[in-house]
Every structure is written in C-alpha cells, then in structure tokens.
Amino acid sequence: MKFNNRGLFISFEGPEASGKSTQIKLLQKFFKNKKIPYILTREPGGTPVSEKLRKIILDKKQLISNTEEILLLMSSRLNHINTVIKPALKNGKIVITDRFADSTFVYQGFVNNYGLKKTMNLHKELLNDFLPSKTFLFLLSVGEINKRLKKRKITNKYDKIDTLFHSRVISGYKKLSKNNKRFIKINAELKVDMIHETVLKSIKELLK
C-alpha cells in the first residue's frame, strides 16, 4: 500500500467504554506492518505539560469549576498542538489522537452546560479552529456502556455508572456530528474485527 507522506490528523471519539483504545491498538499494528510513519497521542495529555494538566482535570478530588476545566483543557490542547501535532504533520506523519476538541465540546460544553456553541467559539478564538481531518465517532447504547464499565476499573471522574450522564454524552456527540462530514460514525456494539475492517476501509480511502 502506497502512502503519499503528506501528513494526516485523525481522532477517535465517543463515550466511555466505547472501544476506542482497542481499535487504536489495531490501527497501530496495521501502520507498523505497512511501515507507515505515525504517532499516537491522547487528550488531555500528549506532552509533559499537558499530562500534568490531565491529572488535575480528571482527578475526582480536584474541586474545579467547569469553566476552569475548559480553560485548562484549551491550554493543554494548545501546548499539544504546537509541541507534538503540528511538527509531526509537517514531517508527513499520521497523527492518531485518542480524544481531541470534540470531547471538550461534548463533555464540558454540552453535558456540563457551558454551551456547545460557546465552547466551539472559544476553540475557534483560542486555537484557530484547529481540528482533525477525520474523526471516528464510536456510538453505543447507555446499557452497553454501563455493562462494560461494571467490568473494568474506574480510572477517572467520567468513568461512572450513571445512565443520565452517558445518555447526555451520546446526545451531545449526535448533535455535534449531525450533517458534519468530518465524522465517520461507528457502531461500537459490533464485533471488534468488524469495526477494525470499517476503520481500515476509511483509512485506506484517506491515504489514497
């Protein structure tokens, strides 16, 4: 498979326990086998500064307001873009990120009621509306999310068995992705290998 070495920025989004991490690992394996240059990163995080901010943002014990959380996320993201993402793209690499700005739009903007449009406008103003070329959006039912969360260790304040919360997250993602060609919607309740094939098909189209 020929890769045209022009750089490509893709993100993986979705509610908790949607299987993003599993699919990212499979995609990594594909890129390694095909010797396609890539980097894997995440948000919040991706740089030493951003990883420190991640601990504050996701810590259940940290009492910070939603507005403070959004501003920390924006600061973390700006550092991430300038330090990691843009240099990698300039060098012709594929950048895969586990979450990006869409998570902030949905979790802090929509679910936590800061305002979806207001959060998106802040991203435009502070980060020059820097977004991925394509976003794989993993969607599944609230029942399946809670079922999966019961089987795994709770690692942060958003990993919780809360039907209303996860329902709001799903609604936020659906609202954000409606009529938006950047999003590639994935049925996250399908078998792992079927989802991987769907992801690969889209990736191959993007690399043509």
**Which amino acid belongs to residue 87?**
P
Question: Residue 57 and residue 6: Cα distance in Å, rounded?
Answer: 34
Could you read off the pLDDT of 38-85 as tens digits, one per residue? 999 999 999 999 999 999 888 877 789 999 999 999 999 999 999 999
This prediction's pTM: 0.92
128 secondary structure, DSSP code: T
E strand spans, the chain: 8-13, 38-42, 94-98, 134-139, 183-187
Residue 81 DSSP one-character state: I
Tokens standing for residue 182: 């950047």
- What is the mean predicted confidence (pLDDT) over 88-110? 97
When pLDDT is averaged across residues 10-28 and rounded to a whole number, the result is 96
pLDDT digits (tens, 9 = 90+) for 113-172: 999 999 999 999 999 999 999 999 999 999 999 899 888 776 666 766 688 999 999 999
Q: What pLDDT sits at residue 85?
A: 98
8 A C-beta contact, residue 89 and residue 9: yes
Q: Which CATH superfamily is domain 8-40+93-207 in?
A: P-loop containing nucleotide triphosphate hydrolases (3.40.50.300)
